[in-house]
Amino acid sequence: MDGLIHLLVGFMALICILPIINMVAISFSANSPVAAGMVFFWPVNFTMASYDRLLGETEFVRAFNIAVLRAITGTGLSMVVTILFAYPMSKETKHFRQRTPFMWLAVITMFFGGGLIPSFINIRNFGLLDNYLVYIVPGAFGVFNAVLLMNFFRGVPKELEEAASMDGASPLGTLLRIYLPISLPALATITLFNAVGHWNDFFTGLIYVTDASMHPLSTYIYRLNLTVDDIRRITDPVELARRLEVSSQTFNAAKIVVSMIPVLCIYPFLQRYFVKGLVIGSVKG
């Protein structure tokens, strides 16, 4: 039975990995074999032309730095807001009488929204157009993450909070010293959700920021395309030959690979928190 489970899990993992391997192979292949459908899981006519084209852009480093800064600040603000909302919402009604109305106000936003035009008007009225804060403030609070963390807080043994209260801990002290240390699995999950969301979001920069110098990496990559005019302007025969090795397909594959690298680097450090329950064994006797 264990062998069958391992075989099934290995097969599912292979299904997830093979498309990534295919993207990497295409990004390192020349235009001709890719167009002919000859590239599967190993590069054909290996070339770095797509990455030279992508990383050679003067705006790439700037866009990358903006994306990193956005992911750090946006995730940090989201975590603070989510924790400060989830902690009181995890209390029973007798301890927080207004819990139900506040919870309904939050949950209803998961099902109903004003749409793009009202959102754009609100962003404009708050002066966030062409403003770096548009990347982090409007999406600072996510109801789904808040509900996830709230339910985790509700599962924390009440004896821990009672013991901390008897020792003179304030509600904030209880949150910082009791709830957060044993909630690392939920916090790590929410942190990853927020970081990946900020990193992959190209729509915000595309709609609310007209200044291209303020675009993060996802928006920059989205609007960076190969054009015939770019090739026609090249007079160096060596550079022209390198550019002809690049097609929209290989270039888009390179975009995907570059966008995946930061997430793939972060995930291994947070993975152990997904499978380790720190609440188990917190209360004895």
Percent of the chain residues past pLDDT 90, beyond the cut = 10
Q: Could you say which of 3.40.630.40, 3.40.50.300, 3.90.1300.10, 1.10.3720.10 is the CATH number of the domain covering 49-274?
A: 1.10.3720.10
Please report, for residues 8, 223, 280, 284, the alpha-carbon distance to residue 48 in angstroms, rounded to integers and kept in the order given. 36, 21, 50, 59
Crossing angle, helix 99-107 and helix 143-154, to 10 degrees?
Answer: 140
In the predicted structure, residue 233 carries a pLDDT above the cut 80 = no
Q: Comparing C-alpha atoms, which of 84, 74, 89, 269 is closest to residue 184?
A: 269
pLDDT, tens digit (0-9, with 9 covering 90-100), for 7-16: 898 889 888 8
Q: Write down the pLDDT at residue 250.
A: 81
Task: Locate 278 and state its tokens.
Answer: 């720190």
- The more confidently predicted of residues 239 and 119 is 119
Sign of the torsion angle spanned by Cα atoms 166, 171, 175, 179: positive
Q: What is the mean pLDDT of residues 143-152?
A: 87
- The more confidently predicted of residues 147 and 269 is 147
Domain positions in the chain: 1-47, 49-274
pLDDT, tens digit (0-9, with 9 covering 90-100), for 73-94: 999 999 999 999 998 888 887 7
Q: Write down the pLDDT at residue 285.
A: 39
Highest mean pLDDT among 35-39, 146-150, 223-227: 146-150
pLDDT band at 244 (very low <50, low <70, confident <90, very high): low
